[in-house]
């Protein structure tokens, strides 16, 4: 397995987001949600429409059980991540609803990350 270093600075993150945007805005959106929530891909993929629709727009936060550790965790959703979720819900980014967002995420992960 290849070792992967985290993209910790904006200077490191911008080229990655630009590359993903070239493949489709949905992939850049997935990246932005992951970066802004610090969720592992397995936890990101476990999000449901019910969880997303239940977000309080004034204090958006998710409660989930981390798949890797089994720990309950409260994830505060910042404005950048919330904007991506709302764009997806409204049919932007090439997906329609979070189910489309998750389908696109899973196919991207299988094609580019897992293999």
pLDDT band at 115 (very low <50, low <70, confident <90, very high): very low
Whole-angstrom CA distances from 48 to 11, 14, 15 are 32, 28, 29
At residue 88, the pLDDT reads 73
Q: Alpha helix (H) ranges present in 1-115?
A: 10-23, 25-37, 41-45, 49-53, 79-89, 97-108
pLDDT score for 105: 57
For residue 96, tell me if it sits in a domain. yes
Domain that includes residue 25, residue range: 10-114
Q: Which two tokens stand for residue 29?
A: 């959106």
User: What's the pLDDT tens digit per position in 47-101?
Assistant: 776 777 788 878 888 888 998 999 999 988 898 888 887 777 776 666 655 555 5
**Per-residue model confidence (pLDDT) at position 114:** 46
What's the domain count of the chain?
Answer: 1
Is the residue at 4 inside a domain?
A: no
> Residues 6 or more apart from 30 whose CB is under 8 A from it?
20, 44, 101, 104, 105, 108
Residue 106 lies in a domain: yes
Per-residue pLDDT tens for 13-40? 888 888 888 887 878 888 888 888 888 8
In a domain, 42, yes or no: yes
Q: Is residue 19 part of a domain?
A: yes
Q: Residue 82 falls within a domain, yes or no?
A: yes
């Amino acid at each position: 397995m290849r070792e992967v270093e985290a993209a910790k600075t904006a200077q490191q993150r911008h080229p990655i987001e630009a590359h993903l945007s070239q493949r489709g805005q949905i992939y850049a959106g997935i990246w932005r949600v992951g970066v802004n929530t610090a969720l592992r891909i397995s936890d990101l993929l476990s999000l449901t429409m019910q969880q997303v629709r239940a977000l309080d727009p004034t204090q958006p936060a998710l409660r989930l059980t981390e798949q890797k550790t089994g720990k309950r965790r409260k994830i505060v959703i910042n404005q950048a991540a919330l904007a991506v979720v709302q764009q997806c819900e409204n049919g932007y980014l090439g997906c329609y609803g979070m189910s489309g967002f998750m389908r696109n995420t899973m196919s991207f992960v299988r094609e580019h990350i897992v293999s």
